[in-house]
Structure 1
Amino acid sequence: MNKNDFSSKTLRFIKNNSVPFLFLIICIGGVIASRLSINYILNEIVNRLDRNLFLVLSLIIPVVAGMGLNFALVVGAMAGQIGLIAIKVLNVKGIAGLFLAAIISIPFALLFGYGTGKILNKTKGKEMITSLILGFFAMGLYQLVFLLFVGTIIPIKNPEIVLPGGVGLKNAIDLKIIQYALDDLLKVKIMGINLPLASFILIGLLCLFTRFILKTKLGQDFRALGQDMHVAEVAGIDVDRTRLIAITISTLLAAWGQIIFLQNIGTLQTYSSHEQVGMFAVAAILVGGATVTKATIGNAILGTILFHTLFIVSPNAGKNLFGDPQIGEFFRSFVAYGVIAVSLVLHAMQKHFSADEKMETAE
């Protein structure tokens, strides 16, 4: 390989991975400026991987199927929260309660996923904006059900979770009955770092499931749709059905991911826990180098590490650099939304460069 070829490949590699490189540099700067101990940062990263990675991984299948980034992840999160509210009412504790919440969430997640898929099939080419607006619409319905129907149509009388007037759920519901039920199931400490092995085994199983399904006939159909929907339809693939399956799987995984997330937190903010789920998961996978047309398990893992490292170090970095930790908090919010905009712009630029390269090659 001559020097020019090597330089060209290096430049292309950097260009294709510009977002991860950018955030790696920002993270290194943040870690240095925060002056936090490496042990503390590593413990926090492990905790946030345990808490968030399942949700981020649930985005992969719709991207492969050409449906873009599923902002309607929030709909799946609501299904998971319905399962958690149910076990709180039934007072089922520990790992049994967590398992029951996952079971209860399945029919809701499948129903919500099916409905979402049907709507997205009517708006081909505009899936991301449709799923974003759909998430806001679903939040309104969710609030209607749990603010008005609970205590009237839905007979829940538990004073621990129902508002004093007897109608509507309280803003915050204590989940101590299942807190750390999964995390503490199998936990080890290595070099001062707490590793919740049961949670990571579950995440590993999801990675294996994702790899397995993408190698099946259904997975090949997903890939065909992602490359060119019209060609896939000509090849005999049932486009609408395949897209419906992709979004339903994503919604179900999001429901389970939200249950894992909230068992780690220990508190359900009834009307807000689900609000930022889609945005933060999308931001994390984009930081890892995914695009609206390509996402891998590696993108999800790397993105979650980089995105949440920034969340961990930014308050202290803001305090040390500017004398105000609030600046770090503002920076975290800015990053969550800014990374999506930056990634989409870079993706558009990369598509433009690719199109130019193809034209030059053809000439």
Structure 2
Amino acid sequence: MSTNKNLSKFFSEYAVVIIFVVLTLASIVPSGLSIPYIVQEVITRLGRNSFLVIALLLPIYAGMGLNFAMTLGAMAGQIGLIFAVDWGVAGWQGLVFALLVGLPISVLLGWITGSVMNKAKGREMVTGYILAFFINGIYQFFVLYVMGSLIPMRNPAIVLSRGYGIRNTLNLESVRQSLDTLFMLRIGPFAIPVLTFIVIFLLCLFIVWFKRTKLGQDMRAVGQDMAVASAAGIDVEKTRIIAIIISTVLACGGQIIFLQNMGNLATYNAHDQTGFFAVAALLVGGASVTHANIPNVFIGVILLHAMFIVSPLAGQKLFGSAMIGEYFRQFIGYGVIALSLVLYAWKSRRAVEDQRSQLRQGTTVGGAK
């Protein structure tokens, strides 16, 4: 009986991870891709996406759930890259310039997000999701009308023919892979962007260190119980705002790393799926709405993107259409988020029922005595 209970608990805890491992392994052979190719693609995507996923951790520690509003930080990073291209700042200096431009914007947007979420306690995820749509409208207005009209642009090649607004696709050749290729290590058939992984490693060290600071401990206390944290003298609302600001700033840097690897910027929609795929990756790694750690980030990125690599070709080989694989990719992404939220709700309800059962048993024993 105990063994069955342990197995049930294991499968409920790691259901998403198990499903993805099985699906990925089953798709490798039909895809026809070689193992070295898949490994190289996973290494590339690990460097490209991990920073963005790590940006989700602090709001979870603070009890604010999955920060879908990290998209706001991605928008700030894109604005920084637009100005870097416009000013002709190339190489890694261009990335630093983009970060310096995006930093104050992301801090402001993070403060706005945290303040709004403090008015919607318990509904932070849906609030962040809707807020991202609202700020997206302001971003579209800014890059479509303000840039080139109120804000003069020095590079006419990135401006629409009417004289204002940024072109739909921006070539980031001046900063393309400037971080990745600065220190590239080749081991056999594999190219490893060492400096990119060093930056990610330093961010992981920062997260580990930050959790041990007083502010980090305050965030954990707020995440466990806001009422108790407030009674202990912690400024709950300020702590939550700081968590969102840091997450938004990290998302800004993560989007810059992502786009420099891609080498181009879809000006008006590059940020649309940023939060969605980062959240999906974290959940695939075994995280939940209330619990996440650094290993969840890397497990999730590896599994999710391994599936993204093999699914289109597997769909083409099995069904005669690569689009089947693309549809499957979207279905899996949304399905992971839905399944994780359903499992979280089920676990929460089961935990409440277990507590009630224990209280009833305690009352019955007390009455018998």
Q: Same fold by TM-score, threshold 0.5 exceeded? A: yes
Separation of aligned partners in 1, 2:315 and 2:299: 24
**Is residue 209 of structure 1 aligned with residue 206 of structure 2?**
yes
Counterparts in 2 of 1:136-155, with a 5 A limit? 136-155=133-152
**Is residue 191 of structure 1 aligned with residue 188 of structure 2?**
yes
Separation of aligned partners in 1, 2:179 and 2:133: 30
Moved over 4 A (4+): 4-7
Measured after TM superposition, the shift of residue 354 of structure 1 is 2.2
Counterparts in 2 of 1:106-185, with a 5 A limit? 106-185=103-182
Name structure 2 gaps, 5 residues minimum.
362-369
Deviates most, 143-152 or 172-181: 143-152
Q: Which amino acid is 1:206 matched to?
A: L
Counterparts in 2 of 1:3-18, with a 5 A limit? 5-18=2-15
Identify which of 97, 100, 123 aligns with 1:100.
Answer: 97
Measured after TM superposition, the shift of residue 228 of structure 1 is 1.0
What is residue 301 of structure 1 aligned with on the other side? 298
TM-score by length of 1: 0.97
Q: Secondary structure at the match of 2:191?
A: strand
Q: Verify the 8 A CA contact 1:16 1:350 in the aligned structure 2.
A: no
Measured after TM superposition, the shift of residue 8 of structure 1 is 3.4
Q: Secondary structure at the match of 2:185?
A: strand
Separation of aligned partners in 2, 1:236 and 1:107: 29
Count residues with an aligned counterpart.
360
What is residue 248 of structure 1 aligned with on the other side? 245
> Per-residue CA shift, 1:236-283, capped at 9, x if unaligned?
110010001000000000000000000000001110111110111011
What is residue 274 of structure 1 aligned with on the other side? 271
Q: Verify the 8 A CA contact 2:69 2:275 in the aligned structure 1.
A: yes
Q: Which amino acid is 1:222 matched to?
A: M
Q: Which amino acid is 1:141 matched to?
A: I
Measured after TM superposition, the shift of residue 157 of structure 1 is 4.4
What is residue 75 of structure 2 aligned with on the other side? 78
Identify which of 324, 327, 331 aligns with 1:327.
Answer: 324
Separation of aligned partners in 2, 1:236 and 1:22: 43
Separation of aligned partners in 2, 1:28 and 1:171: 37
TM-score by length of 2: 0.95
> Per-residue CA shift, 1:90-135, capped at 9, x if unaligned?
1011111111111221111111111111111111111111100110
Separation of aligned partners in 2, 1:261 and 1:193: 20
What is the identity percentage for the equivalent residue pairs of Structure 1 and Structure 2? 49
**Is residue 347 of structure 1 aligned with residue 351 of structure 2?**
no
- Structure 1 residues 191, 357: CA separation in 2 closer, same or farther (over 3 Å shift)? farther
Q: Verify the 8 A CA contact 1:262 1:268 in the aligned structure 2.
A: yes
> Per-residue CA shift, 1:39-82, capped at 9, x if unaligned?
00001101111111100000000011001100011100011111
Measured after TM superposition, the shift of residue 332 of structure 1 is 0.5
Identify which of 251, 261, 265 aligns with 1:264.
Answer: 261
> Per-residue CA shift, 1:300-348, capped at 9, x if unaligned?
1111111111110000110111111110010001111111111100111
Separation of aligned partners in 2, 1:45 and 1:325: 20
What is residue 23 of structure 1 aligned with on the other side? 20
Measured after TM superposition, the shift of residue 5 of structure 1 is 4.2
What is residue 334 of structure 2 aligned with on the other side? 337
What is residue 367 of structure 2 aligned with on the other side? none
Separation of aligned partners in 2, 1:130 and 1:342: 20
Measured after TM superposition, the shift of residue 11 of structure 1 is 3.2
Measured after TM superposition, the shift of residue 233 of structure 1 is 1.0
Separation of aligned partners in 1, 2:136 and 2:92: 28
Measured after TM superposition, the shift of residue 174 of structure 1 is 0.6
Separation of aligned partners in 1, 2:212 and 2:14: 25
Separation of aligned partners in 1, 2:119 and 2:178: 41
Q: Secondary structure at the match of 1:83?
A: helix
